[in-house]
Structure 1
């Protein structure tokens, strides 16, 4: 059986191809895809060829780990039923290519244990569950230890920054300040403030979370820490990160790296969204069909007005 998929044939070289789907094994489901999101973090690095060494890396590859759709077939022992709506955080569906992360296709074959059942037919905004889980994980550690101090400063007001700010407010913590250098991205705040860094002279932040991916960020934020404060690196950085020792020493600064989300994070944010405690409204700005994938990726990675691009596979 075949399905259409986005294929990065080489850096900056994209095509929509019909690929062989792997056969269903015990506990697998086949998902008819409705929407998939384009990640401006890791997927951008795969697109332009700047991704650091990563397990499974290689071209050609099928990207994508933000997919929603409907179960159309099951195999063996499976807790899902035909007709269930699900979120799919990537797959190893396609033969003859690297599946990194394998979610950008018209149909997917995936272990039922990897997907998350949704309460109702998903709107396009549900592709944001993976990014919401990533934001949630920066504080929660996937439930492997006690939660950390939530941010009082977030660097970057893209979708990740907005989700982290919304989660902080939803948790009842004090509203964070968000730094954003691009004027067109300083709107859309819900219960928190967004400012240009030059407009903020505060120097006693306890927890600064960077979601910008700027490798020079430590030079800018360590001088803004309170004594014993923490910087959390929650972006994806393709260059080595360094910092000046003296400012960090004087503040006894802590620096932490937040890794990818775990399943408990994904389950937690799914419940928050489905119970109305976390809103995904206003975060999707662009939609395209797979036939216009080349233009869609160029817009997603090059247009500062594009917060999130979604591919609509229903047509």
Structure 2
């Protein structure tokens, strides 16, 4: 069986190809894809060829780890309360579905073959409806920056967030939902300073707050440490939650005087994904107003260019309904 998929042939070169799907095994489900999101972090680096060495890296590749679809076939006898059933809508955080290409991260296709224990069932009565459910991966990433996947004591929630893209908005919404004081968000692009829900967005030059306890960067700006370390209280923390093309550096003296901690937040864990899915299903976390653009896969090249180049594009989603 074949399925349509986005294929990065080389950096900045893509096509939509019919690719063979791997043979399903007992415990797999087949998912008919409804929507997939375009990541402006790791996927941008795959697109422009600046991704550092990464397991499974190579071209041609199928990108995508923000996929929502419906289970259309179940292989084997699946048991357990969370096991997906025929007809369930599920979130798929990437796959190894396609043969003859690298699956990094393998979710941008019209049909996927995925282990059942990899997908997350979406409640038919919950708030993760339609295309908005593709945002669960980013929400889990934002949640992980504080929760650290439940592997350590949770960190201090942000009182300053750098960047008001989708990741910054989700992190700010999660902070408010948790009952923590509303953070300040820095955003240099005027077009992105609107849309705050329960928190304040300002240009960095307009911020009169002297010191912060926990500064979370989601901008991906490699020079951010020079800007934010002087704004820390003594013993404060900077959390690096973006994806950075260049090596990061900082001036030692300001960090020394503040006894600064610099922490890197890596990819989310399944516990983070389950937690944010529950927050969305119960209405504590809203995903509304974050998807600004939708395209058909036949216009994939234009979709990727807009996702990475248009400041008004917060989140681009591919609609696979007619693929």
The structural deviation recorded for 1:212 is 0.3
Q: How does 1:32-51 map to 2 (within 5 A)?
A: 32-51=32-51
Q: How does 1:221-232 map to 2 (within 5 A)?
A: 221-232=228-239
| Equivalent position of 1:180 in the other structure | 187
Secondary structure of 1:150's aligned partner: coil
The structural deviation recorded for 1:145 is 1.6
Q: How does 1:122-137 map to 2 (within 5 A)?
A: 122-137=129-144
Secondary structure of 2:142's aligned partner: helix
Secondary structure of 2:43's aligned partner: helix
RMSD: 0.8
CA distance in 1, matches of 2:140, 2:77: 27
CA distance in 1, matches of 2:178, 2:43: 29
| Equivalent position of 1:297 in the other structure | 304
| Equivalent position of 1:25 in the other structure | 25
- Which of 158, 166, 177 does residue 173 from structure 2 map onto? 166
Does residue 11 of structure 2 align to residue 11 of structure 1?
A: yes
Does residue 218 of structure 2 align to residue 211 of structure 1?
A: yes
TM-score calculated relative to the size of structure 2: 0.97
Could you give the per-residue CA deviations for residues 67-121 of structure 1, whole angstroms, max 9, x where no partner exists? 0000011111322211011000000000000000000000000111110000128
CA distance in 1, matches of 2:113, 2:153: 35
TM-score calculated relative to the size of structure 1: 0.99
Runs of 4+ deviating beyond 4 Å:
none
Could you give the per-residue CA deviations for residues 98-152 of structure 1, whole angstroms, max 9, x where no partner exists? 0000000000001111100001283101000000000000000111122110000
CA contact (8 A) 1:85 1:122 kept: no
| Equivalent position of 2:162 in the other structure | 155
CA contact (8 A) 1:69 1:122 kept: no
CA distance in 1, matches of 2:165, 2:16: 27
Does residue 103 of structure 2 align to residue 99 of structure 1?
A: yes
- Which of 82, 85, 90 does residue 89 from structure 2 map onto? 85
- Which of 118, 121, 143 does residue 117 from structure 1 map onto? 121
CA distance in 2, matches of 1:11, 1:204: 41
The structural deviation recorded for 1:203 is 2.7
CA distance in 2, matches of 1:252, 1:138: 21
| Equivalent position of 2:271 in the other structure | 264
The structural deviation recorded for 1:279 is 0.3
Does residue 283 of structure 2 align to residue 276 of structure 1?
A: yes
CA distance in 1, matches of 2:144, 2:132: 19
Does residue 321 of structure 2 align to residue 311 of structure 1?
A: no
CA distance in 2, matches of 1:239, 1:74: 44
The structural deviation recorded for 1:66 is 0.2
CA distance in 2, matches of 1:94, 1:283: 30
Secondary structure of 2:249's aligned partner: coil
CA distance in 1, matches of 2:261, 2:77: 46
The structural deviation recorded for 1:268 is 0.3
Structure 2 unmatched runs, 5+: none
CA distance in 2, matches of 1:235, 1:295: 24
Aligned residues: 315
CA distance in 1, matches of 2:245, 2:100: 27
Structure 1 unmatched runs, 5+: none
